[in-house]
Structure 1
Amino acid sequence: MNLPLVSMLLTSALRWSASRYLLYAALLLTAGTFSACQTKGEPATAPTDAPKSELKPVPATTQELTISPAQYAAAGITTGGFTQQNMTTDVLANGVLDVPPQSQVSISAVMGGYVQQVKVLPGQFVAKGAVVAVLRHPDYLKLQQEYLQARARLTFLRQELARQQELDAEDVGAKRRLQQAQSEFATEQATERALAGQLHLLGLAPERLRATSLTPSVALTTPIGGYVKAVSINPGQFVNPQDVLVEVVDRTGLHLELKVFEKDIAQVHKGQRVLFKIPNSRLDRELEARVILVGQAFDNDARTVSVHAHLEQKSAFLLPGQYVAARIQTEGAREQTLPEEAVIQAGELSYIFAREGTARTGYRFRRYKVKTGSIQHGDVAIMPLETLPDTTQLVRRGAYFLQAEFTKGQQQE
């Protein structure tokens, strides 16, 4: 074989293989560079089968809303500023309506007897001195007889004493006879006065009593005017002196008797205003009273003190014994207030609305966070938690409509 020719062919083959290898390496390097560039940047064209995911951007939370002029008029919205009021701190107390002891009476019989007539019914008004019942018993006759006998004997003894005094003056009578006449007269006089007192207790007038006017019946009368609270007798019934026959209450002395807890009593003083209600009553408004007496002793069981308050207003629906829930207003402070209907309670937060201006499509409002305080006469103390301009027009009426629109708008978002 021709060796020079073989050597030339091998050299050519090696050169062609090296060039091919270099070309292949260059292609690989170019492809890697192109891939790296596409990873760092955006692809030139999106794949045709890639899923499309378009997310609507969520708007930032706002406290504003806009309503149309028609909505504004239909809701009856009114605006204004804060009202400055003296808001008080209340002490809560429970109690009853009561009357003083001198305004209620329990009528009993001085002497036992049989009920002949009952003149009154529970709930009836009776004037002072009116007859409530009539009793009958033979002992009433006997008492009148004894009084008339005592009165007749007293007349005789008075005359006998006068004779003995004349004899003693002429020094012709015995001293012993005069002394005896004086003793008997004094004894009989005491007896006559005691019997007259018993007749007075029975309601009989001893000075009018005659032998021809003895009566087996006596009338029971009421010493005060008022309403009959209870009647515990009926005709034919025998009653004893300790039995309560009729009870009468004078409501003109009606007042509150409240129970104030030990921790609150230091804040209560005479003259303070009291607002109270009768639960489950036809009275749907608070009535007023004024503290007139603060007790000076504790109830050891309940650890409360009795506080009495005089009613400022009278009502036919107020009756002794009714349960009351009261608020004693102890102190006041000047605070800015809004009507209760202007404040929206949303969980633990409270809000009010303010008119921000007039938009092209209607009226624009903004909601503000506030802290509420005490409530008095339908107004609530307000402490804003956000800055309010001095010229802010606060919504005093129609806040609930705005809150409904505000909530509706947020749900739509």
Structure 2
Amino acid sequence: MQPKSKYVIVISYDAFSKDNWESAKSKPHLAELIANGASTDSLKSVYPTLTYVIHSSYVTGVYPNKHGVFHNNPFQPFVPENDQAWHWFRRDIQEPTVYEAAGKKGLKTAGLLWPVSGNANINYNIPEIKAVKNENQALKILKSGSKLFTLTMEMKYGKVRQGIEQPYLDDFTTLCAVDTIKKKKPNLLLMHLIDLDDTKHIHGTKNPQIENVIDRMDRRIGDLVQAAKDADIYDETTFIIVGDHSQLDVQYKAYLNRLFYDEGLIYEHNGKWQWRAYIQGAGGAAYLHLQQGDAEAEKLALSILDNAAQHGAYGIEAILSTEKLNELHVSRQFRYMIEAREGYAFEDDHLQEAVVDLHAIGKKYATHGYMPNKPNYTSNLIISGSNVIAGSDIGEVCVVDIAPTIAYILNLDFPDTDGRALTEIFK
């Protein structure tokens, strides 16, 4: 089979969800891509709906129970959130990736702030990695990406960036992508834009600033399309613009570890914090970690959570056990998860009061992590190019379909996925 196109540009448009669809599709560049391609606002995610979990499914085409990235962060009890490591490195993904399949075929690949891509086998790679504690940010990225490429991009465009502040970070990523498309012409380019996600987290999902972000995002997408035209590869390029998750507004943060602390499941011993049961918050969901073989702690933890669930103030919608987690393809290391009610999110701290009303302290906040089948919680997907049937409705699909679809477009050998190639939208 011949490739459907020689080039694929994947723009992960973080938090680009159903509630943004009407606004986004009225913007000039997105409207043109939609008119020339296939689209849907019914893209379903994986559980929990966290960025690094989803991006690992994007590139492997499998669910978290196979690829092994269960959270943005590995489990780090008692480490403050800002000091925690993330699943930054390719080694954390336990399955083959579509960019490696492209490389095996001799195709050029590029990754720009793509999650879980540190030290990945990508030709032109600036991974998404943050310095923690006393680490040096520039050195950490250099050690984990393509050194010469990273240095060149930093020298050309580094002054545009202001740390991880938006809109400067996404402007930097876009400039790097435009340059890479023109100079390197990678067959597969993966990039991650975060402006919308950051804005929703900080200001909530209904803030007027979101319209400004969607305008900025449309301009960035226009710059990428123009770069493909300038590189004379536009007619041979398929653009994939994909939202990883939605967000929901949050009024209450629940710190369920406070309940464990109050009941002695979290305690101090010789000046160090210890745990027998521990909640790892994932925004709209949480994992229950239990010390192996401690049946008494498991019984007590479940009793505490059951009581809290009956008391509506803690925001527990459901306690999910093994059968349900298997159905959701959750990592098999967990026997229990907790799903939050809308309006609530779960955090780790065991010394905070158990429930904090954000509105009472004048804060707006939104987050994700919730079960993918929450109402109106889907994301958007646009696949556009001369090889796509113009005006197609993709319908209900899943994020695990992205990698098989990329493999189909580029005619890569990429079997054994949970998802499927969306062959019906192509000519």
Higher share of residues assigned strand:
1
TM-score over 0.5 (shorter chain): no
Please state which band the TM-score falls in when normalised by the shorter chain.
Answer: under 0.3
Higher share of residues assigned helix:
2
Larger Rg: 1
